[in-house]
Structure 1
């Protein structure tokens, strides 16, 4: 709802300022999210096994607790954990920078277009990097004896790749729109 006396632009900037504040709250909650992910990775197998029948609990025993792994296995597991976490941190940081620029009224600027471009690149490349590193760490953990079975994953997140291609195309569309707008302003 737009308050009487404020322009649409001011209302949008107010909305982006609120969104910028929400991103700061996300950053403040980031350590809690890391701790919850750590707890989930270290206690999930025990809590799952407790809720299953004895036959099912044997199958749940296949999932190993990272704390029960060898020192090398733990280092590999937590390195992969931090690597995957860094993807979300970098993506959130790029998005937050863009929203912060929007809150200051700088929407169609070259930094915004670069942010859209880099988000698209990251979204296109990430599923491949994640698949390769996850399989490599799982294989290494199997070779170390920390996990019983190695079943390579071939799951590529096509939706993430499509989102990245869309953002890269959107960057070019916005770039072209800015060019058309500047040409239009020169002719008036």
Structure 2
């Protein structure tokens, strides 16, 4: 019996099917990741205090524990937590939909290009949204009295913005390549 060789296209389809299954595993693990993030958020001051020397333990009290905040403070903190979590869930969702299409053989579909475009837009605007909301929540927590000090952050993640701009440009390059291919097919 001879060895059956699979084509390059079938090998890629198989790889995309495995990647699609990996995304389902990511979705299944999401509750565990959220739980670990919750634990990290609520036990940060204790873990920081454990790693400090006796003279530095007082500084660990500066890290706010959301479980010790007032009710409005907890609402603000967990709303920001959910907003930041939803950013990653949306990106994973868009990417999973694209991989799912690839697994079914629809690589250069218009939905794929729209997914790349939206991922680029989200990556470009997210650092600004995160900066504004984080500073607003930190200021509100300071005004409520749940946080002792308010230090505004001015850090904008330039790498995320650059990645988003790259994806937006990539969308146009792929769109142009599809147009050239269709024109080429019409002339033959």
Length-normalised TM-score, structure 1: 0.97
In the alignment, structure 2 segments of 5+ residues that lack a partner are none
Q: How far apart are the structure 2 equivalents of 1:144 and 1:131?
A: 20
- Between the aligned partners of 2:135 and 2:159, the Cα distance in structure 1 is 20
Question: Do structure 1's residue 67 and structure 2's residue 70 form an aligned pair?
Answer: no
Name the residue aligned to 2:85.
85
Q: Distance in 1 between matches of 2:152 and 2:138?
A: 8
Q: Offset at 1:113?
A: 0.2
1:60 Cα deviation after fit? 1.5
Cα deviation for residue 4 of structure 1 reads 5.1
Q: Does 1:96 align with 2:96?
A: yes
In 2: Cα distance, 1:51 partner to 1:171 partner: 47
| Residue aligned with 1:105, SS | coil
1:97-176 equivalent positions in 2, closer than 5 A = 97-176=97-176
> How many matched pairs?
186
Q: Can you give the 5+ residue segments of structure 1 that lack an aligned partner in the other structure?
A: none
**Which residue matches 2:28?**
28
Two-structure CA RMSD over aligned residues (Å): 0.9
Shift of 1:40: 0.3
Return the offset for 1:50. Answer: 2.1
